[in-house]
Amino acid sequence: DYRYKKDELFKRLKVTTFAQLVVQVASLSDETLEVTNEEMHKLEDGDSAAPDADAELTAGTNGKGSPDSTPSPVLFINNTGAGESYRSTLQSVISGVGELDIEKDAPKKADTPKKVDTQAKDMPYPDCPFLLLDVRDRDAYDQCHIIGAYSYPIATLSRTMNPYTNSILEYKNAHGKIIILYDNDERLASQAATTMCERGFENLFMLSGGLKVLAQKIPEGLITGSLPVSCQVAAPTGSARKKTSPKVPPACAENKWRFSADDLQKIKYYLEEEHVTSDTASRLSRGSSGRDSKVTTVRSSPSLPSTAGNVGFLTARSLSRSSLQNRPWK
């Protein structure tokens, strides 16, 4: 899920891998908030309970009953292994082992919206394992950016004094954390990543392909605002002729730091589409080229395509197009 290219100092992170990491962090943050609320209610109920319940609580703290020995919600979360899962998820995704299982990782309470504090929506995820930096200019950032990204124009790197923010310094080479740079098409991000790696950043990644590839793989859910024209996917000629709707002015990006339930639903949907498309193409390619007899049959038949790769590509693409028409949020 990440790789080096020739003569590059930084590592590359695939868009789909980044999307998986986003889903994992968002779901874990929601679970943490739910567990915290539950523990707060339990502690409140415990304060107003009968004296015998207080005696049981005292017995559970070795008879001391001191505030230091009383389990707080934060300690409860850490002790349940959520922190270990949090770190292992990051390491497995970055190392290419932890691919997202859509059905397995889907929340069980999908029909009931989760109760998240309104103040939390306006704040970045606490202790987020990645720091996302948009190295384009501020105007481009205000027009469109990935949710949760910070504006860090590449010109900031040329400052003589204090070229890095406090957040960047906190994430620099920190254990279990990474820094991700992106732009429209890698031209700026590759320069910024090279400069930062030369200055000692070892946990730096560049989002491979930038917003241009992101628009192709996951066109909805990850960004806020309107994509630049250079990053938009061109519509097919046939469908463009049929649609004569007036042009809508581009919307500016929101000051949004967290992914909503709708955003996560869209991200998971496109991840599943990518998974189905790649699996279908690979299966058809392997099946068509597995045995010489089958290959001979395919080549001798005038009604079948001569290239196995075309079969896989066309079938996978047709499946993807047909399923995209049935988006659950449309």
Structure confidence by residue, pLDDT tens digits, 146-166:
999 999 999 999 998 999 999
Flag whether 303 is in a domain: no
Q: Is the pLDDT of residue 220 over 90?
A: yes
> In terms of residue numbers, what domain contains 190?
9-27+127-233+252-275
d(CA 206, CA 19): 14
Contact 181, 135 (CB under 8 A): yes
pLDDT at residue 60 in the model: 47
Flag whether 76 is in a domain: no
pLDDT-derived band of residue 29, with 50, 70 and 90 as boundaries?
confident
The predicted-structure confidence for 238-291, as pLDDT tens digits, reads as follows 544 444 445 566 778 898 999 999 999 999 999 999 888 766 766 666 665 555
d(CA 289, CA 299): 11
Of 2-6, 13-17, 112-116, the range with the lowest mean pLDDT is 112-116
Count structural domains, the chain.
1
Flag whether 173 is in a domain: yes
Give the chain's largest Cα–Cα span.
Answer: 87
The predicted-structure confidence for 294-320, as pLDDT tens digits, reads as follows 444 444 444 444 444 444 444 444 445
Contact 180, 210 (CB under 8 A): no
Flag whether 326 is in a domain: no
Q: What is the DSSP letter of 328?
A: T
Flag whether 292 is in a domain: no
Flag whether 168 is in a domain: yes
pLDDT at residue 63 in the model: 44
CATH number of the domain bearing residue 143: 3.40.250.10
d(CA 64, CA 58): 7
pTM of the model: 0.65
Flag whether 256 is in a domain: yes
Average pLDDT, the chain: 73
Of 15-19, 140-144, 148-152, 296-300, the range with the lowest mean pLDDT is 296-300
The predicted-structure confidence for 106-128, as pLDDT tens digits, reads as follows 555 444 444 545 556 678 898 89
pLDDT at residue 276 in the model: 80
Flag whether 36 is in a domain: no
